[in-house]
Structure 1
Amino acid sequence: MARDSGTLSTLVSWVRTTDWLWMIIGGFYLLAYLFWYIPALAKLPRSVRNPPEQFPWHWPLDFVSTGLSGGVLVGLGFRRATAFTDETRDGEPGRRESE
């Protein structure tokens, strides 16, 4: 069990130090899917039961899950960006929490 907690803490540490990367990935992820879903969103609410041709029947679920996952990634990035901003205001520019 101790090995699993060490792996988990390593994973959590890695995610925290790369939050800026998650913000960029999440932002592009949200924008790309938003543009892809525009035809279906334009035909709401009819498109929920009868989606446009290029969309699968489960597109609303895909849209919601994409929004949630992209939002989480962007949120992780903003959290890291604000933490980094606070660190530079304290007089230690460029210093990371893990250092």
Structure 2
Amino acid sequence: MFDDFDFFSDIRQMDPLTKENEPCVGCGWCCLRDPCSESHQKYGYTKRCPDLLWDEKNIRYICKLMLDPKYSEEVRKSQHEGQGCYAPLNDWRKDVKNRG
């Protein structure tokens, strides 16, 4: 599905939210447990954001909102893209898989 697209080529490295923050591994914990405000604005309050996709090739979740020309700048800024994991102690980081 995403074989010819490099999701990570345009990621700007920014200072981490804190010195302790680990990089995002795309485990999906944040987006599956608590979709972002941009997802709520676009889709309403859903259990799961329709724009969160599992990427089998890279073995991680991908946020299509961050790739959407209409929403990407706002979403990347509000979600602190490139600044590390919001929940570095969650167990999903060590077990990145498609959670359905």
Superposition TM-score, scaled by structure 1 size: 0.23
Larger radius of gyration: 1
Q: Which structure shows the bigger proportion of residues in helix conformation?
A: 1
